[in-house]
Amino acid sequence: MINDTRQRLINVIIHHHFSSTGKKLKVGKIADEAGITRQAFHRYYGDLLGYIKGEKPVGELLPSSNQESVSDLLIESQSRVVALENELSAIKDRHNTELKKTLDKHITSLMNNDITLFETDDIRITLEKQTTLIQNYSEQIVSLKAQITKSKIMSTNESMSSTIGSRVVLDPKLESAMASYKQDRDYNAYLDSKDKEIARLLTKVNSFTDNKNKLIIFIDKHLCDLSNFLEMLPPSKSSEIVLRAPIFTAIELRNLISKVTAPIRISVFIPDFISVAEANAQRAFRSTNLPIEEIKLSEKADHIYLTKGIDSVVYFCAKNGK
């Protein structure tokens, strides 16, 4: 049984993680809010340090039996997303207004049909600060949306675990790989991390030995969120596993299926749009923090056909913003 102090620490960590503005958690602050000293935290609750530093997923601390707690965290995170998006929109409007005012102010003469623009360091610094702030809010929104998706997946797994025809959702954890790519731009290292994560999830798939199970491979092509895809899926009469596969070629799919050793039926679901322009716009909307190489590959993704090992291939029309 978890003692009261440990539960307070867990509650404080979860609250800060889902309601933070992107700032790192600090041991001293967490310990203080839980009513203990930093020394007591390190001595008796050192195993929670990884969640504070971001080395372990905070989702592991979410209550497995209290759906209301998970729902409250989702509502809090979604409220934070809306607030950030509203603030971001206001900043962009102020940014554009300030830019126009500054340029108009420094158009000082019109001679021989030439417009002379005077740019100063103050203008450049102001615009750079506003651009950095906009980028920061955009990254916070992407991060919070990812947290909401994870929480929805966790809630789905928990709510269906006690029903006939349960659904297990497997989503590759690529946040650290994307963070590393953002620093060093090493796409090969990103691919290695992605392959290892997919291999880890395939190990889980192969642990299911019931031949009545069904595997749904969701190749999102960065056109549709996993959480929205799950909402579209009808309830299953048999147990099923949903695996999001960030792959783009028929060869990658064949290699993935060849590693599935469990006696399981496989279906492939792929989102699409009626026009290329719509697809590109949707992909640009979703791929803010993705490696540019991933975006280009998703734009040229292979058309998937029925082949050995696949029971069905389903293309569905994705929705804008979904």
Confidence of residue 153 (pLDDT cuts 50, 70, 90): low
Q: Out of 44-58, 78-92, 123-137, pick the least confident.
A: 78-92
Separation between Cα atoms, residue 173 and residue 171, nearest integer Å = 6
Q: What is the pLDDT of residue 72?
A: 62
Buried b (16+ CB within 10 A) or exposed e, 59-78: beebeeeeeeebeebbebbe
Task: Return the structure tokens found at 145.
Answer: 């949306």
Mean pLDDT of all residues in 234-250: 88
Q: What per-residue confidence (pLDDT) applies to 107?
A: 63
- Quick: pLDDT tens for 283-298: 887 777 789 898 889 8
Tell me the pLDDT band of 190, cut-offs 50, 70 and 90: very high
What mean pLDDT, rounded, does the chain reach? 81
| Amino acid 217: pLDDT | 96
Pairing mode, if any, of strands 107-111 and 114-117? antiparallel
pLDDT in tens, 106-129: 665 544 455 445 556 667 787 788
Residue 161, pLDDT score: 44
Q: Report pLDDT for 253.
A: 94
163 φψ region: left (φ > 0), alpha (ψ -120 to 50), beta (else):
beta
Residue 192: which pLDDT band, with cuts at 50, 70 and 90?
A: very high
State what percent of residues in the chain have pLDDT above 70: 80
Provide the pLDDT for residue 284. Answer: 81
pLDDT number for residue 267 = 94
Helix (H, G, I), strand (E, B) or coil at 215: strand
| Residues 314-319, mean pLDDT to the nearest whole number | 87
pTM above threshold 0.85: no
Buried-state track 280-302, b at ≥16 Cβ within 10 A, e below 16: eebbeebbebbbeebeebbeebe
In terms of Cβ atoms closer than 10 Å to its own Cβ (0-12, 13-18, 19+), residue 97 is exposed
> What pLDDT score does 154 carry?
61
pLDDT higher for 175 or 211?
A: 175
**What percentage of residues in the chain have a pLDDT greater than 90?**
30
List the structure tokens of 303: 């058309």
